[in-house]
Each structure stands twice: as C-alpha cells, then as structure tokens.
Structure 1
C-alpha cells in the first residue's frame, strides 16, 4: 500500500494541468525512493481538449488515468477516493502545485507521527503563476497551529489543497453542494484523533475555482453546511460576524496600503 495518494481532478484543463503534473514529477524526483510510496490518480470528466494528451506525457508518474462523464467536481473527487489505496489522500487539482522540492521529504517525515489529518497554509497564485500571497494573509481566514472543527464556524479555515487526511476516515463528498469541501474537512476533523499543523507550505493554489465562479450559490451552500454542523441560530449569528470580519479586513488592508 502506498503511503500517499495524490488525486487530481480535470475537465478541459489543458491550460493548467502541465504545471500540476510537472510539480509532482519534480518533487518526487528530488526525493530518492519516494516514488514507490506515492500513488498518483487523475480523474477526468471526459475532456474534449488536450487534457488527456498532456496527462499521457506524464504516464511514468501517473498510476491511473480515468476519463468518463461525471456529475461535477465532487462526483469526480468521490471517484478519486474510491480508487485510492494510499494511507493518506491529498487533492491537487489542475493548476495547483506542490510548493517546492522539499515538501515531499518533509511530509513523509511528518507521517511518522501517525496523525489522521495534516494541514498547512497555502500560497495563492494567479493564472500566470505569480504569487498573490499566503491564504492566511490575503483572506480574513487566520490559520491556528492547533485546530478544532468548531473553528470552522466562520468558514473554511484551511485550503483544501493544504489538507491531507488518512483515507480510512475520509467521507464521500456531497455532490449537490458547492461548499462540500468545507463539509468534508469538518467531517474529517470530527473523526480525527490526532491533527497536526505542518510548519511548511504544502501547495501553490491557483485562485479562481468552481466556488469562485459560482459565488452566490457557493455562499448559500456554505450556509447549509454550517447550519448542519452548528445549528440555525448560531449560523445566522456567525454569518453576521463573517460580514463584519470582512468589512474590517478590507478596511485594514486599505489603511495598510495608504500607510505604505
């Protein structure tokens, strides 16, 4: 059984898939012997562009390529989970990258602690690969070094691409909810007996995903997720807090720019 399964979801991702596959290939090459401990699965939604041709160029690192129609991102992610055989699973979607060449060696060393969940900050990058900043700095979401599922009362504390979970505790995603990633992380943390913060950055996260493209529905679905875990009245109150936090965050950023 491989120690880590990396799962990449694609659909017509020819513009960005290469950077993801190359980052994994480079990181694995820099750590002798680590390739034998990694399973890499690509789940494609029957792309009509050059996505599959690009994937074939990386057949030496891809353990399996599945391409068939699906019912959206989270249906494809569930397929990836069902195919995975690794002890831990890590989702890196098209355009996302392993942060640097030291990540895998540091990650496999961290696995010696046998935690159920590992997490870190994520570096946001634009479409051209330019750095936007750490998620904990460019969004209102601070990242505590000790985290509990109740810390998600004000939204998603950890970037999905910076969240690695033991496969046996990972539930399926709710394919009807655009904020299913928040629900999934909360469920994983509820089941985790040991959760560990990683003092290094796991990934470069390409901004502008599905929930960004369908922002209004994503917000409504986030409310459903938080109501499920925290109750109606606390969620109504917490959404007021989310709004106020956002206003303060924007004001602070504007003030900082003026002062500089």
Structure 2
C-alpha cells in the first residue's frame, strides 16, 4: 500500500526567535512522505534568512502580506498537494522523529488522526500536557465542551478540509476542526502525544475575544441554550485550572 503524503504547514510572521527549531524538528522526522510548506506574512526580522538557510528542508515557501493567521493558513491549504494536512506553526514541533510512523500504524487511512499535546516553554522544556484531555472517541459533538483536541494535534485528509472562516480572528481553528469532524467517518485516536505547542501565542494573548468568538460558533452549531448551559461548568473548570497550574 502506498504511504500517504503528509503536508506539514508552518505559518510564521516575524518568527526569527522560534522558527528555526520548528524547521529543524520537521527535518528530523523519519517519515519520507512529507511535503513541508512555510507561509510567511512578509517578515522583517530575519525570518527570511532562516527560511533561506533551511531551503533544502522546505518543499515550497512564500513570503507576502496576508490578512492574518487564518488567511495565511488558507494559503497553506492552497499550496498543499499531500493527502493530509498538519499545521505545525512557528514555535511548535512534532512530538518525536517517529511520530508519523506510529500514527499511521495506529489506524491506516483514517479521515482524522488526533492525539494529545505537550505544552513547552521558550526553551523547549515541557510544562505538562494541555488542559483539555482528548476524548477516547472524538466526534464533532465533543466540541460542545471546548476545543477538546489542540489544532497542532489534529491531522486530517485534505479532501475534507474547508478554508478557515476569516470572520473569526482567534477561533477559526475551533470551527475548522469541528467542520472537518462533521464530514469524517474514520476518526483515529492515536493515543500519542502528537505535537509540542509553544505556550503563549495568539489565542492565549486574546483570551476574552477568542472566547466570545467560540461562543458564537458554539451557538451556531449547538444552539443558544445548550451553549449557555455548557459554559457554566466550563468557566468554573477554567478558573480552577488557572489557580492550580498558574497557566491557561
């Protein structure tokens, strides 16, 4: 059986402090069927020097102004020619060099592969797994309780992937994953940590507007009253988590 091509897409803007580790982590993957795409938003801080230095590890890259993170992700989708899409943005990393082989062994030819996420600091040190634990059997309805799987640990067939909705500035990835799951039949829990996610980032820096956007998306897909009812325990759990772990 022919092994699928995995299109790994990295979005970056003025990421000179974080991009090189991401590129190196992708280059270290053992899997041969990788298409690596870097979409830069027109950086002016040395990011392009890093990209050029590692061109041998990159299948294709562009650098041009965009309308934000999700517009850049849509450009990545357009550039991708692989069977699967995997967004590993600047500062993030695949969990291990053999993670793709282990993922594909878990379930051949799944529509979606998902797993857990390890949070890391600026030095690459582990801070612990993500606050929300992936469910044993993920469906789109699980997103009633928040984004149960990190976007960096969610890999889907390109044929199932819509464009990101540019009316959202902080939570379009939540809606994107939900829409992919609605169209998916074979959803594989790899039971692996699939990615390392750099703590911080756009969503964490914009928690309140991000939650407002997510509420709008939930209301659209699950209804107003169920969304309100769900947010009461979600809010209590979030506050408790922040108090215990001192991080979001």
Q: TM-score range by the shorter chain?
A: over 0.9
1:166 and 2:157 are equivalent in the alignment: yes
Normalising to structure 1: TM-score of the pair? 0.89
Q: Give the aligned partner of residue 118 of structure 2.
A: 123
Tell me what 1:70 maps to: 66
2:181 to 189, 192, 205: 189
* TM norm structure 2: 0.93
- Structure 2 partner of 1:213: 205
Task: Spell out, residue by residue over 1:105-159, the C-alpha distance to the aligned partner (whole angstroms, 9 max, x if none).
Answer: 2234346x21100000010001121111011xxx2x2221211111111210000
Task: Give 2:137's aligned residue.
Answer: 146
Could you tell me which runs of 5 or more consecutive residues in structure 1 were left unpaired when the two chains were aligned: 255-260
Superposed CA deviations along residues 164-221 of structure 1, whole A, max 9, x for unmatched, are 0000000110122111111011001000011000122111110111111122111111
Take 1:78 and 1:110, find their aligned partners in 2: how far apart are those partners?
29
Structure 2 counterpart SS, 1:121? strand
Q: Does the 8 A contact of 2:103 with 2:192 survive in 1? A: no
Segments of 4+ moved more than 2 angstroms:
107-111, 244-251
Between the aligned partners of 2:163 and 2:173, the Cα distance in structure 1 is 10
SS of the residue corresponding to residue 192 of structure 2 reads coil
Residue 39 of structure 2 corresponds to which residue in structure 1?
43
Identify the residue that residue 230 of structure 1 maps to in structure 2.
222
| Structure holding more helix per residue | 1
Q: In the alignment, is the contact (CA less than 8 A) between 2:116 and 2:133 conserved in 1?
A: no
Q: CA deviation at 1:82?
A: 0.9
Point out the structure with max Rg over C-alpha.
Answer: 1
> Using the alignment, how far apart are the partners of 2:215 and 2:185 within structure 1?
27
Contact 1:154-1:241 within 8 A present in 2 as well = no
Query: Which residue number in structure 2 is paired with residue 26 of structure 1?
Result: 28
Tell me the residue number matched to 1:241.
Answer: 233
Is the Cα–Cα contact under 8 Å of residues 114 and 155 in structure 2 kept in the other structure? yes
